[in-house]
Structure formats: structure tokens, C-alpha cells
Structure 1
């Protein structure tokens, strides 16, 4: 057993509750797919079109890296299937401080991203119901889009799972319509040049990959919620790989179909590529409305899943004394304080965004999350490499060790690529957010030391310090 300086309390006994239900493989897979596939997919084909069809090669390379990361999370969850995902893995391998950094960075990523998702969803809602022309009406709509998923979370894990499963099915239906149906309307003349940028294939792959890198954020979803998953040692790994592979298939086929149904010169300037694809396939002008509805469902489901994740990591950290104790409170299987604090912070950020009349501050914060999301990924991958190198692993044969080492190396390269793709400004400002977390950690660590000192101080005959083993 790994030795740490704090006690990991035993998991509380679960009381049967009709509002609480552990996730099986379908819901866990839907959580992964639903959190990976947000609203960005509806703009991706137009975003990478200027680079030409070489961007499809970039998709393939990224998919290999994302699946390697998914496999790493599966192996780590089999080793330690507790709620918290990257936080748990980093803390178990490297101690409290690394665990706190993983939790802190992930928490920042989730609530800022939730605000961004809600604001972006208003743009799609405006196609169905005109709201974006009035600042405060749009703000109210964004707040409603955040609070509805929060309420489903507060109702219990049973409702979270149901909403996630239904929204994933509803979002996949129109995406698969374009992804699969578009192949029957495919015209190679629409593809345009292989390297439209003219800067060389390798440069085009790297440039388009920078836009696509963050399409796979969310592969950790099942691992973060492992404590709410049935048979997590087996289910988390399967759900993570299946969900990531499924999302990759939808991404790749969807982009290929749009490339083949919309002329390249038109796609480069498109603001609604999936709408243009539907109109090209079936005629008429109803594609914009249909895709807007699909995007709205997709982003609402994504908000539902990310709201749960935003509370799970602080919950795990709070149980270990690395976050305020209030975050460890659970009701109906959901960390209610974590959900409440997250939605309030995201709401305040949303209101500030609309009140300022400019999205610049908001865009900078969103850019920072592209870096903070990579911190727990890198720490989790490093934890897997640590276990492999140090020999702290279950009985494995040489072939399995070699395979796990290769997978971990690919996942590490993918995580580093994510950091590089975030850009200098995001890394610089993201580090400032991490340093702010260091101050929070200092305060919390000091309070924990003050609580423990009376019982373990030399003055009362106790030892100067005590190292305890979890589970002993």
C-alpha cells in the first residue's frame, strides 16, 4: 500500500435511494461521449477546411493519442476505482500537492467551460427563438441553460444518468444522419486540394491539429465519476475507450461527409457547415433549424455531464482535506455543494461577460482552460509511468508491460502536444491560475496541520509527526 501523510477515510455506506443509481456501461459510455461531443463539432469542418483534406490526417493522429489516453485512464481506474479520476491518480503516486494541483486545475476548467458552453448555446438558441439581439435576454437564456442541468444533478444520479443517455442519443441522431447519409451524396470534386494552405503537409497537419486538439477533452469523464459506476475496475476502462472511439468515429465521418457534400470554397467561409451539408443533401433551407436544435441538445447534454464532473473532483479532494470540507457533502449520490458552487461561479462569469459588453475577458479565460485541462492529463499519465517504472503494478507479463509502456508514452506525447497547442498566452495565464491555487493549498494545509497538532505535538507526549497508511 502506498504511504501518504494523510488518512484516506473509508467510503461511506450507500443508503438505497430511488434518486440514486450507479451508472452501468451504457450511461458511463454516454457520459464520455456526451462530454467529448459538445457544440464545437458543428463548426469543426469549416474551421479546418482552410488547411485542406490533410486535416483528416491530423484527426487520425489525434485519435490515436486520445485513445491512448483513454487506455491509460482505464488502467489507472482498474488500479484505483475511486471518484476523482486524475486527482486520485496524481495524489496516490506523487502526494497531496500534486493531487491538489490536478483537482484545482480540473475544477477551474469545468466551471469556466460550463459558462462558455452556455454562452455558445445561446447562439444556437437564437436560430429557434430570437434572443441574442437583446443583451440581458441572452444573459437570462444562458443562465437558464446552466441551471437546468444543475437542477437535474441536484435531483440525484439517477436523473443525471437519464438526461445524459437521452441527450447523447438525441445529439447523435442528426450527427449520424450527416456522417453516414453524407457518404451517399459524396462528391470528390468538393474536397478541394490536399494541402490548401500551401505550407507543406507537415505544417498543415500541425496547424489543423492545434484547432482539433481540444475536441477530445472529456476522455476522463468516466474515471472522474468512477465512484458512481458499477464495477468501476472493469466498466470505467471499457466506457472510456468505447466512448472515445465512438466520438472519434462521429468526428471523422462527420467532417469527411461535410467535406464531400459542400464545395471547398464555400465551406471555408461557412458559419454553419452541417446546415450547409443537410441543405446540399436534401434541398430546402431547413438544415439551419435542424442543426441548431441538434447543437442545442448536444450542448445541454454536455453541460449536464460537465456539471457532475465539476463537483466530483472537489468532492474527492475535500474528503482528503485538500478542498474545503463542505465540498464533501453528498445527497442522492451527488456532491450538492460542489454543484451549487460551480453553477454560481459559472453564472457570475456569464453575467460579467454580458455586463462588460465585450467577450474579450471571457475569451481569455476560456483560452486559459485549454491549458488547465492538460495539467490533470499530464499528471495522470505521469502517474501511470511512475507505476510502470517503479514496479508498483499487479502481476503482469512482459508483453503487457511493454504494451502499457508504449500506450503511456503515446498518451504522454499527446498530453504535451495539448500543452503546446494551447499557445504561449494560455500557458502563461494558466500558470498564474495554478500559482493562485498554491496559495489556497497553503491555507488549507496550514489549517489541517493546526487541527492535527494538539494530538500529535511533542508537548503532550505525542510524536512530532505521524505517517498513516490508508486502509490500515
Structure 2
């Protein structure tokens, strides 16, 4: 058997950074300025506050990865701190979020393809385009981490460069008269900032990407934290400068009604009508890159949980550094959801599941931030200098508060639907727990997984390990 450390390819710091940045920057950025324009320029303040929270969360993931540099990220931290059930809830929530989000990204790419290839479109054609967008990144994942890294690197550069170009050059065309008022609409300025923040809250989902794939990163104790922070900062630069440039180049009344704010910004800067094609091309590349990274994420969380017997054993099947069964399972589920979207309608199951993802994304974050607080407060102080202990605790509490704000911003419907789906996972946990107490599951994996478990607590039986897994 081959150990994960003998894999022919591990992601470098640059590749891991691109994974983080590519997963954070999806298709939403291309509508972001128009979405928050109705609240006035106070939305820029909201974006700045959220950026601080996202960087705090990124630093927390970096600290956690130093202690636990294993594939699975938030799942590993939650299980280490709070036990199997908390770990399962983290893995279940994250897995749900990834494959449903992939379906939403695949549907989103269709609109941009229409701009690049104008003409009559039918639901059948749109469905084919969406499915191709899902499975091309899945094929890259099935080819191995080397190809995942290559696609992520190229796609991140191809989308980052034009977005950064618009953001930087747009500052030279900046006109303060285009900004409109600081606060639009009725109510207080604080209420306006909170309303804008509710739209912006999920802009930074993906900061955990390097931690989730720590087992496939070269020198993870050092590089995961760096990649997490660098990737988050890179995305923040694009978000902040890009939104500011669009606000300053497109007249406010036009921006509020815009369906392509970056295209309008390019046209305002250089004239003509070619901005739409340029931005549509960047959007397609951006979404394909995000799908490439999120497809890998959809397989890593259940893989880590399956190593501990908390997910079905087939999720352990791994080839060339990628959990292949997890990739296929997520692809099939996302494809089914995409088909539902086109043949049943967007007002049905699809919208309900999208609401679920807005809540599901926050569960692993809350547990990870809580785990860091737990590690700092329970017998780990001797390993941390007093100054660093205080700093890390402040960062962990800031990250927890940021994530708590994410939950509040999700809305009642998202929380209600999300909690129901989260509790449905209890049945899966009960089934897996019953199997572990009855017999050892047969693991079909071909690569020896890196052990990311923890010592059993006093009076507690350790989880049964899949066949072929070394136990301590």
C-alpha cells in the first residue's frame, strides 16, 4: 500500500493559494456591485467589516492547520475538540453545501455562455451546457491533484487578472459624482449597513479550502496557513477595489438597475459595447475554476469522515490524491439537482436546497472557531506564548462572531430549512454508529490514508477503523 506522503504530486503554496482564491471568487462577484448599490456607499463599509472577519477566520484556520495538518479541515478540528457527533455534523453540513452550490454555479454559468454565444436557447441546450460545466471539472479531479492544481492555477490567473485590471484602471476613471449618497433609503445607517452585509455575507465562503485539502498540500503545517491568508487577501483586494471602481465609474442610478455592472464599468471607461463579452468570458472562467475547486472540496470532507467510520466506506476510494467516489457522488447529486431545476422549475426543490446551503456553510465554521477556543482554553497554553495566546484567542472569538453574523444574515427560512436537513443527517450518523458497533466496515480504498484521529477519551470506546487503517 502507498502512503499519502508518497503521492507523486502535492500542491505547492501557489497552487493552494489559487485554490482558496478561486473557491472564494465564483460568479457572484460579477453582480456584487449592483446588488449592494441600492444601499449606498455604506455597503463599502459593510464589505470592509466583513473582510476583517474573513481574514480573522482565515488566520484561525491557519492556526488549526498547524496543529492538525490533515485532510478534512473543519471536520478534523470539530471531531478533535468535541467528539464524533460534532465532527459528523461538520462533515455532513459541508458536504451538503458543496454539491448543492455546485449545481447553483452550473446554472449560473449558462447565462454568461448566452452572452458569448448569442442565439436562440432552449431548456434542453441550457441543461447540456450546465451539465458540461459540472463534469469537465469533475474529470479534472478524477485525473488527480496535479490536474486539479493546474486547472485552478490557470483559471485563477485568467479571472484574477482582468478583474484586477478593471479594479485598478477604474480608479483612474473614478468620478465621486457617480457614488450617490452614503446611505440610501429609509431607516438608519446601521440598518442599511446590516442589509448590505446580509447580501455580502457569503462572499468569503471558501476560506477553508486549503485546510480542507491539507493532506494534499506540500508542507501543510507551514503552507496551509499561508495559502489561506494569501488567498483570502487576494480575494479581498478584488472585492474591495473592484466594487469601489464600479461605484466610481458607473452612475449610481444606472448601477442600481444594472445586470452586468463590470461590463458597464468597462464600457464607461473605454467606450463601445465590448465590455459585456470580456466580462462574460471572465465569468465563465471564474465559475469553471470555482467548480473545479469545489468539486475537490465535495470529496475531501466525506473522505476524512469515512476514515473515522462516520461516513460510508466507499468515500475512502482514492486515486492520485483525489477521493474519486466522493467526486462522482457529488457530480451525480449536483447533476440531479440541475435537472430538477430545468424540468420542475426554480420555484420547487432547487430553491429550498439553495436556502439549505446558506445555513450549512456556517456550521463547520462555527464548530472550527469553537474548537480553536477550546484548544486555547484547555491545557494548550503551555505551548503558546502569552502574547500569542491572547492574540489567537481574540482572533478565534472574532471568527466566531463573524460566523455567528453569517448565521443571522442567512434569514429565518434558510435557518429553518437548514436545521431540518442538518437533523436529517442524524439518521445517517445513527446508521454508521450501528455499523461500527456491529462489525468493521470493509474499506475499498487503494491508498493508505493519513491518520487524523485523536486519542479516545477516558471511558469511551474508540471508533472502529476501516480495514487497512492504522490505529494508535
Q: TM-score, normalised by structure 1?
A: 0.93
* 1: CA distance, partners of 2:64 / 2:183: 39
In the TM superposition, what is the alpha-carbon distance from 1:471 to its structure 2 partner? 5.8
Cα separation, partners in 2 of 1:416 and 1:14, compared to 1, 3 Å:
closer
Q: 2:18 aligns with which of 30, 33, 40?
A: 30
Cα separation, partners in 2 of 1:201 and 1:137, compared to 1, 3 Å:
same
* 1: CA distance, partners of 2:155 / 2:381: 38
In the TM superposition, what is the alpha-carbon distance from 1:133 to its structure 2 partner? 2.9
Is 2:295 the partner of 1:287? no
Q: Could you tell me which residue of structure 2 aligns to residue 353 of structure 1?
A: 341
Aligned length in residues: 450
Is 2:200 the partner of 1:195? no
Q: Could you tell me which residue of structure 2 aligns to residue 65 of structure 1?
A: 53
Q: Could you tell me which residue of structure 2 aligns to residue 447 of structure 1?
A: 435
Structure 1 segments unaligned to the other structure (5+ residues): 1-10, 454-463
* 2: CA distance, partners of 1:131 / 1:316: 45
In the TM superposition, what is the alpha-carbon distance from 1:364 to its structure 2 partner? 2.2
Q: Could you tell me which residue of structure 2 aligns to residue 222 of structure 1?
A: 210
In the TM superposition, what is the alpha-carbon distance from 1:468 to its structure 2 partner? 8.1
Q: Could you tell me which residue of structure 2 aligns to residue 145 of structure 1?
A: 133
Cα deviation 1:40-94 (Å, max 9, x = unaligned):
0000000000000000000110001000000110000000000000000000111
* 1: CA distance, partners of 2:17 / 2:348: 35
Cα separation, partners in 2 of 1:29 and 1:132, compared to 1, 3 Å:
farther
Q: Could you tell me which residue of structure 2 aligns to residue 167 of structure 1?
A: 155
Q: Could you tell me which residue of structure 2 aligns to residue 430 of structure 1?
A: 418
Q: Could you tell me which residue of structure 2 aligns to residue 249 of structure 1?
A: 237
Is 2:142 the partner of 1:154? yes
Stretches (4+) displaced over 6 A? none
Structure 2 segments unaligned to the other structure (5+ residues): 442-458, 465-469
Q: Could you tell me which residue of structure 2 aligns to residue 87 of structure 1?
A: 75
Is 2:94–2:364's contact at 8 Å kept on the other side of the alignment?
Answer: yes
In the TM superposition, what is the alpha-carbon distance from 1:173 to its structure 2 partner? 1.5
Q: Could you tell me which residue of structure 1 aligns to residue 449 of structure 2?
A: none
Is 1:23–1:161's contact at 8 Å kept on the other side of the alignment?
Answer: yes
Q: 1:135 aligns with which of 109, 123, 142?
A: 123
Q: Could you tell me which residue of structure 1 aligns to residue 294 of structure 2?
A: 306
Is 1:103–1:376's contact at 8 Å kept on the other side of the alignment?
Answer: yes
Cα separation, partners in 2 of 1:402 and 1:274, compared to 1, 3 Å:
same
Is 2:4–2:215's contact at 8 Å kept on the other side of the alignment?
Answer: no
* 2: CA distance, partners of 1:467 / 1:168: 42
Cα deviation 1:252-277 (Å, max 9, x = unaligned):
00000000000000000000000000
Is 1:385–1:408's contact at 8 Å kept on the other side of the alignment?
Answer: yes
Considering only aligned residues, what root-mean-square deviation do their CA atoms show, in Å?
A: 1.8
In the TM superposition, what is the alpha-carbon distance from 1:391 to its structure 2 partner? 2.1
Cα separation, partners in 2 of 1:336 and 1:261, compared to 1, 3 Å:
same
In the TM superposition, what is the alpha-carbon distance from 1:15 to its structure 2 partner? 7.8
In the TM superposition, what is the alpha-carbon distance from 1:356 to its structure 2 partner? 0.7
Higher mean displacement: 355-364 or 194-203: 355-364
Q: Could you tell me which residue of structure 1 aligns to residue 357 of structure 2?
A: 369
Is 2:355–2:417's contact at 8 Å kept on the other side of the alignment?
Answer: no
* 1: CA distance, partners of 2:463 / 2:71: 21
Q: Could you tell me which residue of structure 1 aligns to residue 319 of structure 2?
A: 331
Cα deviation 1:148-186 (Å, max 9, x = unaligned):
000000001000000000000000111012100100100
Q: 1:383 aligns with which of 371, 384, 389?
A: 371
* 2: CA distance, partners of 1:277 / 1:452: 60
Q: Could you tell me which residue of structure 2 aligns to residue 460 of structure 1?
A: none
Is 1:131–1:137's contact at 8 Å kept on the other side of the alignment?
Answer: no
Q: TM-score, normalised by structure 2?
A: 0.93
Is 2:299–2:327's contact at 8 Å kept on the other side of the alignment?
Answer: yes
Q: 1:259 aligns with which of 235, 240, 247?
A: 247
